[in-house]
Amino acid sequence: MDYLVIAYNLALLSYSLGVLLLASPIPSKSVKSWGSKLISDSLMTAILISSITLIQGIGAYILKVLNVSWEEFFTWLYVRTLTLVSFYTVLTQVASYLKHVELSFLTSPIGYVVSLISLSFTSLRTIYVLSNVIYAFKDKLAVLGVLLYSLPFRVGKGVGSFFIAASIVMFVGFPLMPHFIQSFEASYPSKTLLESKTITVNVVDVNGRGLPYPIVKFYLVRELNNPIGVVLGDVEGKLIIGDGLDVLPKENFTLQVQIEYLGMSFTPVPDYITSEFEINTLSIPQLLMLPGLALLRNGDVEFVDVLYDYGSADITVKAFTNSKVTLVKYLKTNVTYVEVNGRETSCIWSDETWYGISISTCSIELNGSDSYTSLKLIYTPSQPSAPNVGEVRLIYKESIIDDLTNLINVAVTYIYTYIFLPGVYVVILTSMTHALSKVLGGSRLRLM
Amino acid sequence: MGVSMDLVDFIRGLTTQIIAIVWVVFLITWVVGWALRGSPIPIHRIKRLGQSLIEDSVIAAFWLALGSTVFALITFIASNISQPFPPPPTPTPQP
């Protein structure tokens, strides 16, 4: 209120100066008109000083009538900042993921979006600073405006009236910004870009035991010529697709699979994976896994029962005359004894190489005269080793185009809602403030 | 506080001095106006200048004499207008 006393006295001073100019014996039109200008300004200042409580209170009154508050505005601003921060974090993560997948061409649009987001941060920070200044110094701004307004000879009339107008217009305008922007916002950026699907695939044998290091080839349905992905499983037959390593289709999809294992190619049951399930189990009914070796049956043989003790396996199969099983082992696995229906059988091993792994195979005649045949193996198992195969991760081209489109959409949306709309709003507020300041300072009383 | 009070006193002093000067200037202008108007110079422009000087000085004297009254009136009216606001109407739910 101290400033108001100064302003009141300044108004009296400019009034007396005005009268002095008016009374002066200088026969000049401009001197006389300055006199009347000074008088009218001082009267206007007196009005403003007297109605300072009105100026300070009118903003709060309008806000109450419109039922908006500064708290809501600050909450809105905070939520927006959080959204932006989380999107920024996710994008940075996506960019770092993409480096693994050799999709460096996607990192450049992402970098563009990231730069736009930092631009949006700047715009948000400007709004923060402006709104905080208005909120904290609204009353002081009005008083300062009146003081500047009261300076004689119109020294601070324009600035002063702008300050007074800003203390009203900005104080009402900023809490209305969420409503303005929400009415123009078409949609929030789609989150599909950020979701990465993960599918776990388990490759198992007839008994549900995991195949160590299977090679799984993925094909688009009905295009069984060239695989779109080749992925190696782990020691328990498990592999994970998606999870940032692969670019998978956005919507539900089905991919056909083929499995290669120890030099053989299988069509598993089921012969596809689907994104409807998070875990897809592919079983190979032709194959029976034992530690360090595998048994492959022919079409008419059926595995009935397996008893395994370390280095010794008793297998019961259902077989017919001339039925065969093929024994496949790692070279280091040493089979010492093979017995069919209680009789020792010789096994002729032939060596092969499969993706850098040495394996041996041998065919065993079952001579199944009766339906159940027992097969006994005694051997020294060895640790399985991984084939030296070049993995081809799944990259779904349509998905990449979708991602690019999404990125562009997101970029445009962010430019629009975080930079363009608030900028337009602040410009509108400024022009309204200017208009009100013209009303306060532009009109003058005609005294002569 | 002290500085601003000094400032206020300074401005008040300045205003008082200017008002004293204004009365003197008014008298001078009035006298000069009448002198020009009543002078035996047969030039119409000079007579008219004297006339306008008299008018201006009288109007200035009028505003000067009325100054404190005008300010008091403005303060009174504006203070009465800027009474505390009534509470805003709250929308009542329609049945």
Q: Residue ranges per domain, chain A?
A: 2-184+400-442, 194-287+388-395, 293-380
- Predicted confidence pLDDT, tens digits, chain A (448 residues): 588 889 999 999 999 999 999 888 888 889 989 999 999 999 999 988 888 888 888 898 899 999 899 999 999 999 888 888 888 888 787 777 777 666 666 677 778 778 888 888 888 899 999 999 999 999 999 999 999 999 988 888 888 999 999 999 999 999 999 988 888 765 555 454 545 678 899 999 888 888 899 999 988 877 777 888 888 898 888 998 877 677 777 778 888 899 988 888 888 988 888 888 888 999 998 888 888 888 888 777 788 888 888 888 888 888 777 778 888 888 888 888 888 888 888 888 888 888 888 888 888 887 666 667 888 888 888 888 888 888 888 777 777 777 777 777 777 777 788 888 888 899 999 889 888 888 887 544 344 4
Residue A69 contacts B, CB cutoff 8 Å: no
Interface size A-B, in CB pairs within 8 Å, comes to 110
Considering only CB atoms, which chain A residues are within 8 Å of B84?
53, 57
Strand order across the beta sheet in which A238-242 lies: A238-242, A198-204, A279-283
Confidence of residue B95 (pLDDT cuts 50, 70, 90): low
Considering only CB atoms, which chain B residues are within 8 Å of A11?
71
Among A22, A46, A49, select the one facing B59 at the smallest CB separation: A22
pLDDT of residue A80: 86
Among A9, A10, A47, select the one facing B74 at the smallest CB separation: A47
Q: Is the separation of the CB atoms in A7 and A150 below 8 Å?
A: yes
CATH number, domain A194-287+388-395: 2.60.40.1120
Asked if pLDDT for residue B28 goes beyond 90, the answer is yes
- β-pair partners for A354: A357
CB contact under 8 A, A13 and B15: yes
Considering only CB atoms, which chain B residues are within 8 Å of A10?
11
Closest residue in chain A to residue B21, using alpha carbons only: A20
Q: What is the three-class DSSP state of A364?
A: strand
CB contact under 8 A, A17 and B74: no
Type and span of the H or E element at A174: helix A157-184
Average pLDDT over residues B29-45: 90
Return the CATH fold of A293-380: Immunoglobulin-like (2.60.40)
Token digits for A282? Answer: 């592919």
Give the CB-side neighbour count of residue A24, counting CA atoms within 13 A: 19
Average pLDDT over residues B20-46: 91
pLDDT of residue A70: 93
Asked if pLDDT for residue B1 goes beyond 60, the answer is no
Considering only CB atoms, which chain B residues are within 8 Å of A57?
82, 84-85
- How many other C-beta atoms lie within 10 A of the C-beta of residue B52? 14
Average pLDDT over residues B32-39: 91
Residue B69 contacts A, CB cutoff 8 Å: no
Residue A46 contacts B, CB cutoff 8 Å: yes
- Could you check whether A194-287+388-395 and A293-380 share the same CATH topology? yes
pLDDT of residue A146: 92
CB contact under 8 A, B60 and A64: no
Q: Where are the domains of chain B?
A: 2-81
Q: Which residue would you say has higher pLDDT here, B33 or A301?
A: B33
Token digits for A220? Answer: 């688009």
CB contact under 8 A, A19 and B63: yes
pLDDT of residue A445: 39
Token digits for A15? Answer: 């009034």
pLDDT of residue A175: 93
Residue A43 contacts B, CB cutoff 8 Å: yes
Q: Which residue reads 């300076």 in tokens?
A: A151
Quick one: angle between helices A104-150 and A157-184, nearest 10? 140
Query: Cis peptide leading into A109, omega within 30 of 0?
Result: no
